Amino acid sequence: MNSNKFSNPKDAFYWIDPTFDSYKLGGEVKNGILAWNALPEINFTKKVPTASGVEASIEYLDKYNGNIYGQSFGNGRITIYKKWRVELDSTQRTETIVHEVGHEAGLAHTQEKNDEIAVMRRLGFNNKAYPLKDDKAGIAKKY
């Protein structure tokens, strides 16, 4: 767990940087956000035109930041980098969004070694673009 927590988890608003649409990737970002709606504790209800006052704000920067695909900063702020767009396949891009939104919902990296029960793993991919068993348990405990 981390100290982040959605203030309105059952009526959560989100913003997606329009730049994603210029690469035809806005749908993958939206799917990653809405994947959390499968949990009873979270419901993203509305995409809004500005980033203020939202539970998740996904910004795109068309530059590299080392080996980082995306980064969570707290207060709903997530930045996705060029490496995400260029190097990952569709499932991995969506899984990255699920992972970063998980940080904003209050989840930290969950295990010492990578396994297949969490999208919140520190390294690598499960190629499952949705919250898994350990993620669901963490959200249930947090909310």
Neighbours of 12 (CB within 10 A): 23
Quote the tokens at residue 23. Answer: 């690469």
**The predicted structure's pLDDT at residue 110:** 81
Give φ, ψ of 70 to 5 degrees.
-155, 165
**The predicted structure's pLDDT at residue 140:** 98
Which domains occur in the chain, in start order? 12-142 (3.40.390.10)
DSSP 63: S
Residue 114's contacts (CB-CB under 8 Å, 6 or more residues apart) are 121, 122, 123, 124
**The predicted structure's pLDDT at residue 112:** 67
Q: Do 104 and 74 form a contact (C-beta atoms < 8 A)? A: yes
Residues of the chain with pLDDT under 50: none
Q: What is the pTM of this model?
A: 0.96
**The predicted structure's pLDDT at residue 45:** 95
**The predicted structure's pLDDT at residue 77:** 97
**The predicted structure's pLDDT at residue 8:** 95
**The predicted structure's pLDDT at residue 115:** 72
**The predicted structure's pLDDT at residue 123:** 86
